[in-house]
Amino acid sequence: MSNSNVMLDVPSLVQHMKSKGILFSIENELAATAHLCSHNNYFKLTAYRKNYTKYTSGPNSGKYENLEFAYLIELARLDTEVRHLILQMALDIEHFVKVALINAVESNMANGEDGYRIITGYLNADEIIFDSKNPTERQTKSARRNAIYSEMISKSTKNPYCRDLIAKFQYRMPIWAFVELCSFGDLIEIARYYEKKNMWIPPVDLLSLDRVRQLRNACAHGNCIINDLNPCSCKNPGKSSYPNYISHFLARAKTTPDQRKKKMSNPRINQIINVLFIYDEVTKNTKTRQQRLGQLHELINSRMLVHSDFFKQNLLLTTTYHFFKSITDKLN
């Protein structure tokens, strides 16, 4: 497809890119055609053009400045590696949050908690926040949770990896079984329920955890992550876009207030930073952390520099790289 929404064959797409100012001096047109036929599609590959500016005047007005087809290929490859690592980090976070929640429930046995009561209370929406004189909100939330629970049971029954859990706990489920079956979103919701119900202090802020969930889902579905790293164009970029604990996390990495304001106004960068912050919080003193941070440092300090000459003239990409490097250098 092209921007005119008319389907074009691959050679025509290459010509369309040329008309937009994309250059083929590193990867020639024949190589570009082969790449689009075998390795990536036009729609996804050209998404990374958003990281480049256009000429605003002169004979090339409206065309991209200093954008090679090879640069798009490298950005797509880097995006894949970033996406795979973030997904692994998000799965680690999900695991350690489950561990923290189960430990909190087990620690509450003296108050009658048996691991089953939390699920019953959660499905009944017996949070202390509801007004007993106006039960509509509670009934609505309970109905929604039970519908989600029923769907979870139905799907898990057909899943060979979860079938045994359902056979054993379908009619009365404990927390340790529930967290093996529920989605990341439902994990956050039951953690929020337990926080309100028992005055539990979660290991991380649940708002940041939800941002991890959003990015985790994007990575799992193969969405582009680094295809648009521009600061938000809203009237107040960066305002209220992240809490104080994230600001302190960034300040420890010697980032400046102006850097934080610009970079954190971008929702993609914002969510990646939330992943790094939460990972730093929940994986302390674990072998998993050592392995994952080793992969992160290799990605930042080695892999991303392989074709650094491609991007040295792109201020957006170079400043974003150094912003992340300053933060990851502080993680060990």
DSSP 206-250: HHHHHHHHHHHHHHHTT--SSS--PPP-SSSTTTTSS-HHHHHHH
pLDDT above 70 for 145:
yes
Check pLDDT > 80 for residue 14.
Answer: yes
Looking at residue 128, its pLDDT comes to 74
Q: Are both 189 and 277 inside the same structural domain?
A: no
Please, what is the angle between helix 69-106 and helix 267-282, to 10°?
Answer: 40
234, pLDDT greater than 70: no
Is the separation of the CB atoms in 203 and 96 below 8 Å? yes
Find the farthest-apart pair of alpha carbons in the chain and give their distance in angstroms, rounded. 77
Please give the Cα distance from 10 to 29 (Å, whole number).
10
Q: How many folded domains does the chain comprise?
A: 2
CA distance 291 to 279: 12
Same domain, 221 and 262: yes
Report CA torsion sign: 250, 271, 82, 48: negative
Q: At CA 228, angle to CA 80 and CA 186, rounded to 5?
A: 65
Question: pLDDT, tens digit, for every residue of 111-140?
Answer: 889 999 999 999 999 987 766 667 788 889
Mean pLDDT taken over the chain? 92
Would you say residue 292 lies in a domain?
yes
| Claim to verify: residue 323 and residue 217 sit in the same structural domain | yes
- Residues 94, 294 contacting (CB under 8 angstroms): no
d(CA 256, CA 271): 19
- Answer whether residue 228 shows pLDDT above 60: yes
Cβ within 8 Å of residue 256, ≥6 positions away: none
Residue 195 maps to a domain: yes
One domain, residues 137 and 199: yes
CB 32 within 8 A of CB 39: no
Average pLDDT over residues 85-97: 97
**244 and 227 share one domain:** yes
Alpha carbon separation from 184 to 8, 63, 211 (Å, rounded): 40, 42, 11
Residue 122, pLDDT score: 95
Is 1 part of a structural domain of the chain? no
Asked if pLDDT for residue 237 goes beyond 60, the answer is no
Q: Is 2 inside any structural domain?
A: no
Please state, for a pLDDT cut of 70, what percent of the chain lies above it.
95
Q: Which range of residues forms the domain containing residue 48?
A: 10-89+210-328
pLDDT of res. 172 = 92
pLDDT tens digit string along 188-223? 999 999 999 999 999 999 989 999 999 999 999 999
Torsion, CA 130, CA 135, CA 136, CA 138, rounded to 10: 50
Q: Are residues 174 and 283 in the same domain?
A: no
pLDDT at 235: 52
H or E element at residue 44: helix 42-45
- How far is Cα 277 from Cα 143, in angstroms, rounded to an integer? 34
My answer on whether 85 and 214 are in the same domain is: yes
pLDDT at 263 over 50: yes
Given a cut of 50, whether residue 239 has pLDDT beyond it is no
Residue 68 domain flag: yes
Q: What is the pTM of this model?
A: 0.90
Residue type, 56: T
Residue 318 pLDDT > 70, yes or no?
yes
What is the C-alpha to C-alpha distance for residues 239 and 233, in angstroms, rounded to an integer?
12
Whether 168 maps to a domain, the answer reads yes
Same domain, yes or no, for 229 and 324?
A: yes
For residues 70 and 130, membership in a common domain is answered with no
Same domain, 289 and 232: yes
Mean pLDDT computed over 253-273: 94
Q: How far is CA 24 from CA 14, 31, 118, 177, in A?
A: 9, 9, 60, 55
- The answer to whether position 94 is within a domain reads no
pLDDT higher than 50, residue 1 = no
Cα(192)–Cα(320) distance, integer angstroms: 33
**DSSP letters for 289-314:** HHHHHHHHHHHHHTGGGTTGGGTTT-
pLDDT band at 238 (very low <50, low <70, confident <90, very high): very low
Residue that is last in its domain, among 188, 204, 220: 204
Clarify whether residues 196 and 295 are in a common domain: no
Asked if pLDDT for residue 89 goes beyond 90, the answer is yes
Is residue 67 located within the same domain as residue 18?
Answer: yes
End residue of a domain, out of 181, 204, 227 = 204
Q: Please, what is the angle between helix 206-220 and helix 267-282, to 10°?
A: 110
Is 267 a member of any domain?
yes
Last residue of a domain, one of 153, 181, 204: 204
